[in-house]
Amino acid sequence: MEFSDTYKHSGHCVFSPDARFLAVAVDYRLVIRDVASLKVMQLYSCLDKISYVEWAPDSEYVLCGLFKKAMVQAWSVSQPEWTCKIDDGSVGISHARWSPDSRHILTTADFQLRLTVWSLVSTACVHVPWPKHASRAVSFTKDGMYAAIATRRDCKDYINLLSCRGWEAMGTFGADTVDLADLEWSPTDSNIAVWDSPLEYKVLVYSPDGRCLFRYSAYDNALGLKTVAWSPCGQFLGCGSYDQVVRALNHLTFKPVAEFSHPFAVKGPSNAVVFKEIEEAWNADMQPMFMNGTSVPGDMTRMRGTTLFLMMILPCLLDESLPLTFCHCREVSNWRLRLIEFLLEARSCVSAGAIHLQGRFVGTSLVQ
């Protein structure tokens, strides 16, 4: 396993969808690096400190949210001379996102006054008044043809369907929610899952024509849902709630087919392997110990400049003294890569992390 040098950053480190580039924000500068060599490919200067970074789905463009100045700047990786600046004036900008075709940018104004769709081709814009949330409650179909946007007016939640070709409204219907938290298209693009705020356990499934197909509530008079997600195949809908239980609903009957408890402490045997780096390392090939967990041979000599990893027993905490680090996983087998993913997702001191989509690199940011 090889480690790169450390690089300055201000909290944003995003891999491109095609896994070729890495965008790193350093105050008001955006640095585009080649993933394989970490060589600087492009360097852009924004008008203010970068608050948000997002790649376009085609990896051709990248946007920077300058929310303090109510601006969004977009850049092209292949055409450095091309640039785009979106200024929404006095209404402000609280969030920005790409459309699936990578040729439109959606911005949400402060206080959810409106959602605006900006075209990078024709410079035209379309407004959707009163979006429910700034960064949530907007979902696109898998083919990128339609968008579902939750809005709220007259103290009632609505779902607006828009065609992504011309961004014209296809229809609007009311949602039977008290305070809609989020929505998501199914992977088959046939249904829309809608769920209520944590104050109430309620999941609703609507057809695109506005019919409520199913509703589900596991219990009443307690904190409800934390998160809801479709399975990649679209046959199950997972519901995680505040009772620390994940319920998997069948996509035909929308009744629970399985329940998984999630205790605060993981007990019992685990097949996850965690290694701890010690200060005084051994000068030897650690491949036998890594693969079979055997102890260190007695003929090893100690020497500075090398690294030794010792197996640890869960639960454990990671060292929080390291800055942003990129880990080269060229010689790491699949089981070690799963270990890295486990560490990034564990309850540890990792404050942010990103995994290269082809499984070759890992970027982490640890709390100082």
Name, in order, each residue with C-beta under 8 angstroms of 88's C-beta and a sequence gap of 6 or more: 70, 71, 107, 109, 116
| pLDDT at 281 > cutoff 50 | no
| Residue-wise pLDDT tens digits, 43-100 | 999 999 999 999 999 999 999 999 999 999 999 999 999 999 999 888 999 999 999 9
* Burial degree of 345 (CB within 10 A; 0-12, 13-18, 19+): exposed
- Residue 232 main-chain phi, psi, to 5 deg: -55, -30
Which residues lie across from 248 on neighbouring strands?
Answer: 238, 258
Question: Of 99-103, 129-133, 343-347, which gets the smallest average pLDDT?
Answer: 343-347
C-beta of residue 33 within 8 angstroms of C-beta of residue 41 = yes
| pLDDT at 307 > cutoff 60 | no
Rg for the chain, CA atoms, rounded: 24
The number of beta carbons lying within 10 Å of the beta carbon of residue 218 is 18
**Closest to 164 in 3D by CA, of 182, 143, 193:** 143
In this prediction, residue 123 carries a pLDDT of: 84
In this prediction, residue 11 carries a pLDDT of: 80
CA atoms within 13 A on the CB side of 363: 24
In this prediction, residue 189 carries a pLDDT of: 95
Residue 273 pLDDT grade (very low, low, confident, very high; cuts 50, 70, 90) = confident
Q: Which helix (H) or strand (E) holds 338?
A: helix 334-345
